[in-house]
Structure 1
């Protein structure tokens, strides 16, 4: 197998009339999704000029037609990248400078914004209904598939970059083909399941939902973003839609329990709850377990660069306050190990080391950025006898007495907040672009789940906050800003972040 489209084609042949994907406004059977994706691929290749191994951008919120066009980009031989329409135009332009999309697809809700954002860039903007309404060109699609390989890019997800420029993580077909069948079999996922998709399509958690459904014939039920601000609507949607599987960010699961949504209605058919992105608070997980005691609960770990996840831990008991639910053990065909600062391997329980990952599931690297790719994807320090790529995650972990990995912290200034990975340096770089800000440091307030920005300069804090809202997506805008007379420095002349955290009570 060399292409993820083979899953869609096989499943459409097996269960053509079964619903493949649905949202509140539309649905498609597997046969309809196959035909729509092939039509979109024909239009993208024949009319939009998409060449093999070039990008198609989607500037929109998730939907069933958007999914068909994402797969259409793959039928055209290219790869897709979904752009959050809520982020500032400056950040979209920075992304597209490295992405170089042949075309940007939008929908009714985002067309006006897309044409404004991409005006003067030379990038073609088209509505989804254009590619979806074209006849299929069998010959073109056949020629495109003939030259495809399993190391061709499938998608690019952009994460926060420490220099202020987002990083595009390039993931190949081969990595998804390697991971998804293992993921599905590990947790017993199959055709009867209904995946309530929480994650937006620009967040790699959605990769597990989308491709597990294409592989197994399960139903992908898209949960609109706005439902996560109306608890009763969310729970009715899950229950009425017969959801069985939640592969959600920790923050989404915590929203349900903090808002007491399970007291209103329990989606009784849910039998699998898998979470990732942050450390799950045991108190919040206990609420889920109390309402759905027979469901499987699993903690998943892994950055975008390792194609979704590399370790998992099935929760088998209650965890109390102060306890950390383990990251667990590697999935099959993934090597996960800990390195000390001196390059040696950590093997003893309790000792902390950096999490490193090797195996087929590793991403191809960062789009258009060889320097950062070479810094993060390295020759395995434990092997000097043959080429052996390993990814340095920057996460610190230890082994517990049972041999499970347990997360400790981040090595650098990259943090996870509300399911999003954020480089604090990108927030700081944005702040220093604001008039009157001379120096800035961003800190994570883990207890309150928000960012704090400390700065030196003449700007008023209200102006700094407004300036950041124009430069960053909402999840990266600090909840508080404070002006300092000066920054504390270490003996080496660097900003003393430890002193700042202590002064802020963090």
Structure 2
């Protein structure tokens, strides 16, 4: 039975409690149907279930216990998806990390989570824990549908085996943190399943649907794709990220694989809409575009609708703290008088609250307020950070005496005359670049850790992160070079030069040196795309803070930055 909008859910879907229950619930009925199509292999539903069970057996035999953390430094693939199911089967908590993540960050996340195992391809990530590591983790290679362990598990399991329930953690996903350290978002099985149920009900896919997935494993949009496709009995198509800059090949791939719904951040369409908008017909099977993570220019959506007049367009809004919290089908045709896109008030089991400064609900159109989220799919908190958790999960302002906790998002929205919400940005320094959430303070911390940096401030512009750097005086025998095209300004601190894994530079501070410095400590999407250098102090506002608006106007010069794009 395929779920339909607002209709009853199938029995087995309502009674699934763990991730693998939901992802594999169609395996017996749809055994020979393709479940996931990857670049090099395809797994049917029966094969996916069998491979997941085999990997789970390997993990259990090696000594994985419920609650153990496993770091996954993998790109999306059918085998990686089987391993996610295997983690759920054993009760392990998976921690997805980009394979290209610098070694220092790999080690830091493994230490912080006290991981027991790091699974990666050959040559990816650290080979063994460093001296003084808090977690004596082992390494395994995922190859040919099986795990190859580097050594037996050293730590014996505890005396009491805890059975996994829906309230236990399914995964930890790390995003940028406002303190300059990555924040570990803890998601339980029950929270993820609540989201998947609402998603499957809204999209109401039939069995012939094929869902295109473009997101890397460490971006929780990928989990949205997996739950929607497999939970609906459809086929998941993994789209090679190399096609991002090959728009014709991207369209041909979507057409050849029969993708009916393409999920992803709007930027995946940017090259197509810029260079080959007249060739959208190559993706002939496309029926739905589902986007989130960034604002999608309405002009681009109109171009898509011009090629596919009946195209369903779904605007998804949310946060990693809930995977997402609202889906809204955009009208057909789109309004011509505005480029602002409405968003929903929450999917089934979730509700967005728009509250004014006085804490009361916003009821007048044109008024902006702060968004709070109450939902069944809320995260459990930030990994070992009770202070940050307490600031984010707060008592419901409208029911202060209940025991309900809601998520204070930091997002701002306006109530439209049509009754919809319209995103209006953020008050803090969180931005999104190509769908990846970035706290600018974390990038600034790494920039400040360079011995030649005196100040740093980071912002976002239309083409990505921008940086302006105030340098410390160069040694007398050094020659510095000026390279322009980024916007980060740095705050001077006395303890900013001790970043773990940082190396001491031998030459002058220039663009190449600072980019290498950042690349050693940050994932690629957080490395500034352009850098401006100055030998003078950065401008400040009357209250003494770095004047980002002046820096943006001076160095970006191309309109407002995209800070807080949904």
After TM superposition, give the deviation of residue 57 of structure 1 in Å: 1.4
Q: Distance in 2 between matches of 1:161 and 1:265?
A: 42
Which of residues 430, 455, 470 is equivalent to 2:520?
Answer: 470
Greater CA drift, 2-11 or 400-409: 2-11
Q: Can you list the C-alpha shifts for 1:49-93, whole angstroms capped at 9, x where unaligned?
A: 221122111112111111111111111111212210112222222
Q: Can you list the C-alpha shifts for 1:79-112, whole angstroms capped at 9, x where unaligned?
A: 21221011222222222222222111123xxx12
Aligned to 2:185: 169
- Flag the 1:321–1:157 CA change in 2: closer, same or farther, 3 A: farther
Aligned to 1:445: 461
Which of residues 27, 36, 41 is equivalent to 1:26?
Answer: 41
- Flag the 1:32–1:262 CA change in 2: closer, same or farther, 3 A: farther
Q: Which aligned pairs between 1:240-389 and structure 2 lie closer than 5 A? A: 240-260=256-276, 263=279, 265-320=281-336, 323-389=339-405
Q: Secondary structure at the match of 2:521?
A: coil
Q: Secondary structure at the match of 1:306?
A: coil
Q: Secondary structure at the match of 2:372?
A: strand
Q: Which aligned pairs between 1:68-79 and structure 2 lie closer than 5 A? A: 68-79=82-93
Q: Secondary structure at the match of 2:124?
A: helix
Aligned to 2:540: 489
Q: Distance in 1 between matches of 2:315 and 2:201?
A: 16
After TM superposition, give the deviation of residue 255 of structure 1 in Å: 2.7
Q: Which aligned pairs between 1:389-428 and structure 2 lie closer than 5 A? A: 389-428=405-444
After TM superposition, give the deviation of residue 115 of structure 1 in Å: 4.3
Greater CA drift, 84-93 or 260-269: 260-269
Q: Secondary structure at the match of 1:13?
A: coil
Q: Can you list the C-alpha shifts for 1:438-493, whole angstroms capped at 9, x where unaligned?
A: 110011113xx221111222333443233223222222222221223112223332
After TM superposition, give the deviation of residue 262 of structure 1 in Å: 5.2
- Flag the 1:276–1:9 CA change in 2: closer, same or farther, 3 A: closer
Q: Distance in 1 between matches of 2:440 and 2:313?
A: 31
Check the 8 A contact 2:224/2:323 in 1, yes or no.
no
Q: Distance in 2 between matches of 1:156 and 1:315?
A: 36
Check the 8 A contact 1:416/1:422 in 2, yes or no.
yes
Check the 8 A contact 1:15/1:30 in 2, yes or no.
yes
Q: Distance in 2 between matches of 1:150 and 1:170?
A: 13
Q: Secondary structure at the match of 1:490?
A: coil
Aligned to 2:125: 114
After TM superposition, give the deviation of residue 27 of structure 1 in Å: 1.1
Greater CA drift, 170-179 or 471-480: 471-480
Aligned to 1:137: none
Q: Distance in 2 between matches of 1:291 and 1:432?
A: 48
Under a length normalisation based on structure 1, what TM-score does the superposition of the two structures give?
0.92
Aligned to 1:105: 119
After TM superposition, give the deviation of residue 244 of structure 1 in Å: 0.6
Which of residues 146, 167, 174 is equivalent to 1:158?
Answer: 174
- Flag the 1:9–1:483 CA change in 2: closer, same or farther, 3 A: closer
Q: Secondary structure at the match of 1:86?
A: coil
Task: Report the RMSD for the aligned CA atoms in angstroms.
Answer: 2.2
After TM superposition, give the deviation of residue 214 of structure 1 in Å: 2.4
Would you say 1:10 and 2:34 are equivalent positions? no
Greater CA drift, 492-501 or 450-459: 492-501
Would you say 1:209 and 2:220 are equivalent positions? no
Q: Distance in 2 between matches of 1:119 and 1:490?
A: 43
Gaps of 5+ in 1: 135-143
Which has more helix, going by share of residues?
A: 1
Q: Which aligned pairs between 1:81-96 and structure 2 lie closer than 5 A? A: 81-96=95-110
Q: Can you list the C-alpha shifts for 1:171-218, whole angstroms capped at 9, x where unaligned?
A: 111112212122122122132111111111111111121112222211
Which of residues 199, 211, 216 is equivalent to 1:200?
Answer: 216
Q: Distance in 1 between matches of 2:280 and 2:261?
A: 19
Check the 8 A contact 2:468/2:531 in 1, yes or no.
yes
After TM superposition, give the deviation of residue 118 of structure 1 in Å: 4.8
Q: Distance in 2 between matches of 1:125 and 1:242?
A: 37
Which of residues 431, 435, 460 is equivalent to 2:451?
Answer: 435
After TM superposition, give the deviation of residue 261 of structure 1 in Å: 5.8
Check the 8 A contact 1:81/1:155 in 2, yes or no.
yes
Q: Can you list the C-alpha shifts for 1:118-150, whole angstroms capped at 9, x where unaligned?
A: 56553211111487379xxxxxxxxx9992211
Q: Distance in 2 between matches of 1:229 and 1:184?
A: 30
Aligned to 1:139: none
Aligned to 1:57: 71
Q: Distance in 2 between matches of 1:291 and 1:145?
A: 56
The count of aligned residue pairs is 491
After TM superposition, give the deviation of residue 278 of structure 1 in Å: 0.9
Q: Distance in 2 between matches of 1:61 and 1:298?
A: 26
Q: Can you list the C-alpha shifts for 1:343-391, whole angstroms capped at 9, x where unaligned?
A: 3322211111111101111111111211111111111122122111111
After TM superposition, give the deviation of residue 411 of structure 1 in Å: 1.4
Q: Distance in 2 between matches of 1:441 and 1:239?
A: 44
Which of residues 530, 547, 551 is equivalent to 1:480?
Answer: 530
Under a length normalisation based on structure 2, what TM-score does the superposition of the two structures give?
0.82
Q: Secondary structure at the match of 1:368?
A: coil
Aligned to 1:228: 244
